[in-house]
Amino acid sequence: MKKTNFDTYLEQQLSDPEFAARFEQACEAWDVALQISDLRRHAGLSQKDLAKLLKTSQQQVSRLESPSYEGHSLSMLRRVAEVLHARVRVVFEPIVEIAGHVADGAERYPKRA
């Protein structure tokens, strides 16, 4: 598949470590927002409906579903998960540097005996 101008541009930008770190953080926030929104819609709920179940405001649910919001608390994510019949999983993945580039998929830390 041929690269688009955007693909080429993004590739160039990602070669900057600071940009790459910010991009990764944005992807994490985007992922959380999309998961909450998808679960809510799958449950057939509006933001207002979910807010009532959570005993919060529709504006707060909107924030939780916003890709730019980074104020998610673990307690709120647990409340959302409970109401939407889901569970919260937080995964810390080691990052390794190979030849000056950050690479995902590092081997897991060895388990303690």
What is the pLDDT tens value at each position of the chain, 113 positions in all? Answer: 788 888 788 788 878 888 777 777 767 778 999 999 999 999 999 999 999 999 999 999 999 999 889 888 999 999 999 999 999 998 888 877 665 555 555 444 444 44
- Structural domain of 40: 5-87
Q: Is residue 29 part of a domain?
A: yes
Number of domains the chain contains: 1
Cα within 13 Å of Cα(83), Cβ side = 22
pLDDT of residue 42: 97
Q: What is the pTM (predicted TM-score) of this model?
A: 0.68
Q: Is residue 23 part of a domain?
A: yes
Q: Where are the alpha helices (DSSP H) in the chain?
A: 5-14, 17-42, 47-54, 58-64, 74-83
Q: Is residue 107 part of a domain?
A: no
pLDDT of residue 110: 47
pLDDT of residue 108: 45
| Domain containing residue 43: CATH number | 1.10.260.40
How many whole angstroms from its chain centre is CA 95? 17
